[in-house]
Amino acid sequence: MVDQIFPGLYRLEIPLPGNPLKSVNSYLIKGTDKNLLIDTGMNRPECKKAFNQIFQELNIDLHQTDILITHLHPDHAGLVPYLKSPHSRVYGSRADTEMLSNLSDSSGSSQYWSDLADFAVQNGFLEGNQAISTHPCFKFKPEHIEYDVIEDGTNIDINGISLKCILTPGHSRGHVCLYDEDKQILFSGGHILAEITPNIALFSNDYNPLHDYLQSLDKVFNLEVRMTLPSHRSIIFDHQERISELKKHHQLRCEDILKILEYGPANAYDIASRMTWDLKHYQWEEFPLPQKWLATGEVIAHLKYLCESGRVVEYDGEGVTLFSLPV
């Protein structure tokens, strides 16, 4: 499905059948001699078919089309190798494109996935290995691509539109939003979504994504924005209201975790199984593995945030990381 947002700017709704996200929004800026495609969909036949149809309908020449990924997730970067032409420039942030190159290399990739599985098991997720085998990043190993690295403040000019790159780490380490100051449009990628909350997850011990995410929400809060164009679901017309809701959501999730820990120490997987999730499955046991994976990663991100602010402590419980309230 294609919507024209204003002349020369299109929202392309690319289907993700069977995925709880339902679809991904790509945005296309169509110029006279150059186009820019923002995000690409997954490496799946349904996504390829949708792009082929839309590009034919809009008369898009891929040789004149550059691509920008807001972040490395496979529903955003997955079709870059399929859609890029030898003449295309492909833009992405330093952190996310480095990670994609690492995953495209077999030794880097196997080290990454085994570290991830070990970390999951250490956090009580005993089916870690099995969950990874269904992970889209694992199943569709990224191809090596030469990216044009964008930094915070980089401007990309296309057809008289100037897009400012704003680094907004949180949903991924190198997530980037694009801001068109003239038209007051924010392309928010997976940073701000309307009907669903962006997944903020952690499966390592070396950073604090929830802290980064909350700071990144503040970073865009005061921008003059008439319309926020997210990567999934509906357009947002009051980004400040949505940011306040998202902050509240994370605050409630932290409070939920603190309440669970009042009953005693627990590992992250255990805590995830005792929380309330906004999913159609009522029982934790019924959650599909990928959902359990996302939920556990989300809990670990919140625990990291709570530990770093001194509200929770973490310790080794014979090979399993346990969390408790400070004594």
The token pair at 199 is 């997944």
Count of helix runs (H) and strand runs (E) in the chain: 11, 14
Calculate helix-pair angle for 239-261, 289-308, nearest 10 degrees.
90
- The residue (of 124 and 198) whose beta carbon lies closer to Zn ion is 198
Half-sphere exposure of 76 (CA within 13 A, CB side): 26
> In Å, what is the CA distance from 206 to each residue of 117, 166, 257, 304?
16, 23, 21, 10
Minimum gap (Å) between residue 247 Cβ and Zn ion: 19
Minimum gap (Å) between residue 135 Cβ and Zn ion: 13
Looking at residues 24 to 53 of the shown chain, list those that interact with Zn ion (rule: CB under 5 A): none
Minimum gap (Å) between residue 32 Cβ and Zn ion: 32
- The residue (of 157 and 195) whose beta carbon lies closer to Zn ion is 195
Minimum gap (Å) between residue 56 Cβ and Zn ion: 28
Total residues in contact with Zn ion, by rule CB under 5 A = 2
Strand partners, 228: 186, 236
- Contacts with Zn ion, 71-110, as mask; x by CB under 5 A: --x-------------------------------------
- Contacts with Zn ion, 55-74, as mask; x by CB under 5 A: ------------------x-
d(CA 89, CA 149): 10
Question: Strand, helix or coil at 65?
Answer: strand
- The residue (of 73 and 242) whose beta carbon lies closer to Zn ion is 73
Minimum gap (Å) between residue 171 Cβ and Zn ion: 6
Element (H, E) at 132: helix 128-133
d(CA 144, CA 229): 28
- The residue (of 88 and 168) whose beta carbon lies closer to Zn ion is 168
Torsion sign over Cα 28, 29, 30, 36: negative
Minimum gap (Å) between residue 40 Cβ and Zn ion: 12
Element (H, E) at 150: strand 148-150
297 near Zn ion, judged by CB under 5 A = no
Do 232 and 23 form a contact (C-beta atoms < 8 A)?
yes
- The residue (of 58 and 196) whose beta carbon lies closer to Zn ion is 196
Strands 161-167 and 176-180: antiparallel
For Zn ion, the binding residue among 124, 128, 142, 190 (CB under 5 A) is 190
Strand partners, 93: 150
Minimum gap (Å) between residue 148 Cβ and Zn ion: 21
Minimum gap (Å) between residue 70 Cβ and Zn ion: 8
Burial label, 109 (beta-carbon count in 10 A; 0-12, 13-18, 19+): middle
**Residues making contact with Zn ion (CB under 5 A):** 73, 190
